[in-house]
Amino acid sequence: MAVSVLARQSEDKIARQAYQRRKDEIYFYNMEKLEFQSKLEQERKRAEKERKRAEQAEAEIAKLRKENEGLRATQA
């Protein structure tokens, strides 16, 4: 009887360890997923800022071209 109790306790310990290992795997998977999502969001924000900066630069170029055309017209 003592041997069967020890065997059952050993099996229970192995099951608890497997359960804890699985919990840890899930936790670390979720942490990696959150980190990835955070980096993705930061990259989206950076890309949006770059897009706005490019639009502003294009608008400035268009404005300067019009100014340049106006100056050329007055010189001619």
**Tens of pLDDT along 3-61?**
787 788 899 999 999 999 999 999 999 999 999 999 999 999 999 999 999 999 999 99
In this predicted structure, the answer to whether residue 76 has a pLDDT above a threshold of 80 is no
Q: What is the pLDDT of residue 3?
A: 76
Which string of DSSP letters, residue by residue, matches 17-75? HHHHHHHHHHHHHHHHHHHHHHHHHHHHHHHHHHHHHHHHHHHHHHHHHHHHHHHHHHH
Cα→Cα distances 28→6, 22, 36, 38, Å: 33, 10, 12, 15
Q: What is the pLDDT of residue 4?
A: 85
Residue extents of the structural domains in the chain:
1-76
pTM of the model: 0.61
In this predicted structure, the answer to whether residue 75 has a pLDDT above a threshold of 80 is yes
